[in-house]
Amino acid sequence: MLLVGVAIVAALTFTPYALISRARKAVAAYVSVPESPALRELARPTPTPQPPAFDVVRWLNERGEDPARHGVLVQSFDGRVTLAEHNADAGFNPASLVKLSTSLVSLTKLGKDYRFETKVSTEGTADKSGALHGKLFVAGNDPTFGDFDATLIAKKLGERGVKKFDGELIVSPDFVFNFDDKADEAAQRLAKVLKFNPKTTTVGGSPAGEPAFSVRSYPLSDILLYMNAHSSNFVAEHLGALVGGPEGVRSFLVGELKLPPEQVTLSTTSGLEVNRLSPRGLLAIIRALDDETRRQGLNLADIMAVASDDYGTLRRRLVGTPLEGAVVAKTGTLVHDDGGMASLGGIVYTQKYGKVCFVMLNQGSSVAESRAMTDQLLSEIILSQDTPAPIPKPDKPRHMLESSDLGKPALLLSRFTVYGSALLHFPKHQML
């Protein structure tokens, strides 16, 4: 039985399963996590599985499908029982299932509590009316930074007596705002949300020394949940960049999970463009990701959506079927590359085998038809050999936090790091 995850409220993520509010712990900008014993365990020889009981090729042929365009592997978590297998070692474009690799590597290397920091500092003076003259620096590479975070900055500045700003707004070259990573445009959008009227907005560095305060993102676990549930390519590429990009992720899969090098081709960390992974390789990634989440005190549903229960790409999938609420998974979709791909991979919770890992990769131009076929095939494979065991549902679907929660003390406390004492005036080169 899946343990219900901790409660977290996120600006750009979902509310975890246990809906109990609590303040988040402040953490450093980088959290180093020891090497996972679970990954070392995965390197051991996989037990020889029993022959699959479900004939995937026959099922596909009966529906006029070309079996060569499909890859399927469904196994018990320990790998001893294979419920279905077809083209398990063939290379397919996994589409957004690549995000499972990005999730695994970033979670392992950074840790569930890793937070991006956006640092704020000033240079100049403020008059009695609360107008700050001089420079305002905002530096950070948080891919989830947006209106909500900008409002937090405005609130913190207001607490220090800054009501207006007519100087120069300077953002770091890697600054992101509302999924726009063109720093010059992001600076202009930030100024609008702050309701400041700077003379200029530019891209540059920050002054030396500690900033006045920083706004931290929500923990990595929340960011992964948002990324996977909404299949955010933008977030996936920025997270991937932190762990070495496509080559860094590939090196991890080959070096740590011992995936055959010839079966791992990654050009992105989001799943865009042309990538190659086999169903068996993806199943190893799913097992490792489940192990890593549990090692860090999480459940897989803390970083991935539940079919039909959550908002995102799995919303209403498998609804009204016995599998509703029993599947934690990631979708993958490509409309043009490789002739179109519709993929699904994750875990089905069952009564007999417990956790059943599955990957389904379908090549075809009709994404809608491929999705429907995937849902039907997965249902038939599971129901012919086991009984789904839905995990407890939240009171409501997990969704993005609304701005009305801005003033909650626990939320604000978790998002700020304040450096030094609060200053009510701003000598030149002095941090706010």
- pLDDT tens string, the chain, 432 residues long: the values are 333 333 333 333 444 433 323 333 333 333 444 555 555 555 555 566 567 889 999 999 999 999 999 999 999 999 999 999 999 999 999 999 999 999 999 999 999 999 999 999 988 777 788 888 888 999 999 999 999 899 999 888 888 888 888 889 999 999 999 888 889 898 999 988 888 888 888 899 877 778 888 999 989 999 999 999 999 999 999 999 999 999 999 999 999 999 999 999 999 999 999 999 999 999 999 999 999 999 999 999 999 999 987 889 999 999 999 999 999 999 999 998 888 899 999 999 999 999 999 999 999 878 889 999 999 999 999 999 999 999 988 777 665 434 333 334 344 445 455 544 333 222 222 222
| 331, containing H or E segment | strand 327-334
Q: How far apart, in whole angstroms, are the C-alpha atoms of residue 357 and residue 346?
A: 6
Residue 147, phi then psi, degrees to nearest 5? -55, -45
Residue 118 forms beta bridges with which residues?
215
Location of each CATH 3.40.710.10 domain in the chain: 51-113+220-383
CA angle 275, 276, 281 (to 5 degrees): 130
pLDDT, averaged across the chain: 83
Q: Where are the alpha helices (DSSP H) in 63-202?
A: 98-110, 147-159, 183-194
Q: How far apart are CA 283 and CA 121, in angstroms?
A: 46
Class of 51-113+220-383 in CATH: alpha beta
Residue type, 313: T
User: Which residue matches tokens 């309701």?
Assistant: 195
pLDDT value at residue 46: 58
Task: Please check whether residue 384 is in contact with residue 328, taking contact to mean a CB–CB distance below 8 angstroms.
Answer: no
Report helix angle 245-255 to 233-242, nearest 10: 70
What was the pLDDT predicted at 301? 94
Three-state DSSP at 412 gives helix
400 DSSP assignment: P
What's the fold here for domain 117-217?
A: D-tyrosyl-trna(Tyr) Deacylase; Chain: A; (3.50.80)
Where in the chain are all domains bearing CATH 3.50.80.20? Answer: 117-217
What pLDDT shows up at residue 11? 36
Q: Which residues contact 17 (CB under 8 A, 6 or more apart)?
A: 4, 5, 299, 301, 302, 392, 394, 398
Global confidence as pTM:
0.81
Rounded to an integer, what distance in angstroms lies between the CA atom of residue 237 and that of residue 232?
9
b vs e for 215-251, b when ≥16 Cβ sit within 10 Å of the residue's Cβ? bbbbbbbbbbbbbbbbbbbbbbbbbbebbeebebbbb
* Residue 207 one-letter amino acid: P
Distance CA 283, CA 346 (A): 8
pLDDT of residue 420: 41
- Per the CB < 8 A criterion, the answer to whether 112 and 219 are in contact is yes
